[in-house]
Chain A
Amino acid sequence: MTDSPVPDETLIRADAVHKRFGGITAVDGVVFAARRGELVGLIGPNGSGKTTLVNLLTGHLAPDSGEIFLGGHQVTHLPAYRRARYGVGRTFQMSQLFRRMTVLENMLVPGLTFPHLSREVIAARARAHLRFLGLNHLETLPARSLSGGQQKLLELGRALMLDPTLLLLDEPFAGVHPTLRDGIIERILQLHASGRTFLIVDHDIEAIQQLATRLVVMARGRVIADGSPADVRGNRAVLAAYAGT
């Protein structure tokens, strides 16, 4: 776990990033920044560009123009795997587990990318994270046999193996049973309290409001609101975007 957050230090920043797919502008000049230790919720209607922005921040997509900074360093053209090694962990909208591997093997994969760590150290770290997530009794099962909520937890655990300073979670509550959803929220809050920075994309406004200290709202590829959950709730542009007007 990292030290206490440094509230005023920007951890990740997107400067006027654009991304087009054919004739569709998915991200249109977005300016976004998250400070160390923040827990930011990224919301917006379907097709508003949230996941594309996350992909740009993690290096899974390259912007057509604009720049991305991580910890003050330009990382616009740095591939996803290098950003992961610099402490950017992420999960995907649809679970992306290594389905033919066991739960423990899934956890080992990111750890093994650190050549200076021995297998024993990596396995011990993996088991500690599995205990934290309440999945330790499932470590020998194939990942494909887990429930939807357990798969989301395992994805979170796998991202934790990178010892990330920034975690980007894309719809972590989608398709998750309410009981497990509360478990995921609890874990996220614990990890946030330990100093990690979060950017969480979700449609579950209720869950996001329980978590986020700040909400960023996107519509049609642009940021239309950015502020506290209370401010955003009353924002007319946000209401209009969700109403589709």
Chain B
Amino acid sequence: MDIFLAQLLNALLYAAVLFLIAGGLSLIFGVMRIVNLAHGSLYALGAYVMAWGLGRLAGESGSEPVYLIALLPVAAVAVGATGAVVEPILLRPLYARAEEYQLLLTFGLLLILEDAMRYIWGPTPLTASPLWAAFGTLHLMGATYPRYNVVVILLGVLTAVLLWAFVFKTRFGVMLRATSQNRRMAAALGINVGGVYVQAFALGCLMAGLAGAVIVPIQGAVLGMGVDALVLAFVVVVIGGLGSLDGALVGALIVGVVRTVAIQYFPELELAVLYLIAAVVLITRPAGLLGRA
């Protein structure tokens, strides 16, 4: 029972982080039809900002849980602000061109961000594990589990609820959905499509930054983490449906559970199983489980 519960929580932890990354990727695609290849690097940027901030705030010990509350918004907003600069300056001039240009540009941005992070923070990974340890452990139905991991799961759930409320219950959410369905008509009805785009892109980047920031105490900030995250985020959105927030949630849960089971029983095939599921979904349901063709 205790192992089962711990594995279930591990699956939810993984799903929560993946949802934050893939949800942002899907939001950007759903509204703007941009496949943002730099999304993983923005996730890594969030991780580096968080790790750097923790280092500045607490030194090497970095062991006060309150730092998490203080620095999570800073890291997420820093990455969101990066997105708010990137969209109007780099992406907007390319909207009238073929999609390949956007792919090339976001791929270039991925490389630039990787090099920028290497230049600013160096090649050595940054860690913040004392913060993870500072949260202590939780005893639940016979299982001992890191309390920080539960915080991450709850943060994932909270973000999903807030995002749903934002998209379906707010004035801006209605405009966001209208723009995602028909930007030409949205403009004819008085919506500033450029304004919606920059906010949607910044929000998607903010989610990536939040994911990066929240994962730092568990796995640190390391060069290349963005590419790994991007690949898995694509697996999530292929399964769930690119452009669908519900799909990102369902895809993240599926990947989280499958990965946890795979690590337990056949760790060598962990990624192969995920890619196989993505391939089957692509063949049988190209738009994803909850996507729209």
Question: Which residues of A come within 8 Å of B, CB atoms?
Answer: 58-60, 79-81, 84-85, 89-90, 92, 96-101, 105, 108-110, 112-115, 119, 158-159, 161-162
Name the residue on A nearest B168 (C-beta).
Answer: A105
A-chain residues with CB within 8 Å of residue B186 when the two chains form the complex: 81, 109
The digit string for B160-200, where 1 denotes a CB below 8 A from any CB of A, is 00000000000100110110011011111111110000000
B-chain residues with CB within 8 Å of residue A101 when the two chains form the complex: 177-178, 181
Interface residue tally of chain B, by bracket?
10 to 19
- Complex Cα distance, B193 from A79, in Å, reads 10
- What 18 new A-B contacts, CB under 8 Å, besides A98-B177, A112-B175, A113-B175? A58-B188, A60-B188, A79-B187, A79-B192, A81-B189, A84-B188, A89-B188, A90-B188, A96-B184, A96-B185, A97-B182, A99-B181, A100-B292, A109-B174, A109-B191, A112-B174, A158-B189, A159-B189
B-chain residues with CB within 8 Å of residue A98 when the two chains form the complex: 177-178, 181-182, 185
Question: Which residues of B come within 8 Å of A, CB atoms?
Answer: 171, 174-175, 177-178, 181-182, 184-193, 292
Q: What total count of A-B pairs have CB within 8 Å?
A: 70
Q: How far is the CB of A160 from chain B (nearest CB, A)?
A: 11
- Complex Cα distance, B190 from A80, in Å, reads 7
- Complex Cα distance, B186 from A119, in Å, reads 18
A-chain residues with CB within 8 Å of residue B177 when the two chains form the complex: 98, 100-101
A-chain residues with CB within 8 Å of residue B188 when the two chains form the complex: 58, 60, 80-81, 84, 89-90, 92, 96
A119 touches B171 (CB 8 A): yes
B184 touches A81 (CB 8 A): no
A-chain residues with CB within 8 Å of residue B193 when the two chains form the complex: 81
- Complex Cα distance, B292 from A113, in Å, reads 27
B-chain residues with CB within 8 Å of residue A114 when the two chains form the complex: 190
B-chain residues with CB within 8 Å of residue A115 when the two chains form the complex: 171
The 4 closest A-B pairs by CB, nearest first: A113-B190, A110-B189, A84-B190, A96-B185
Given A105-B174, A108-B174, A109-B175; A81-B187 close (CB under 8 Å):
yes
Name the residue on A nearest B181 (C-beta).
Answer: A98
Q: How far is the CB of A167 from chain B (nearest CB, A)?
A: 12
Q: How far is the CB of A198 from chain B (nearest CB, A)?
A: 16
B190 touches A60 (CB 8 A): no
Name the residue on A nearest B171 (C-beta).
Answer: A112
- Complex Cα distance, B181 from A115, in Å, reads 22
B-chain residues with CB within 8 Å of residue A100 when the two chains form the complex: 177, 181, 292
Q: How far is the CB of A51 from chain B (nearest CB, A)?
A: 13
Given A105-B174, A109-B175; A162-B189 close (CB under 8 Å):
yes
B174 touches A81 (CB 8 A): no
Q: How far is the CB of A100 from chain B (nearest CB, A)?
A: 6
Name the residue on A nearest B189 (C-beta).
Answer: A110
A-chain residues with CB within 8 Å of residue B187 when the two chains form the complex: 59-60, 79-81, 84
A-chain residues with CB within 8 Å of residue B175 when the two chains form the complex: 109, 112-113
B-chain residues with CB within 8 Å of residue A80 when the two chains form the complex: 187-188
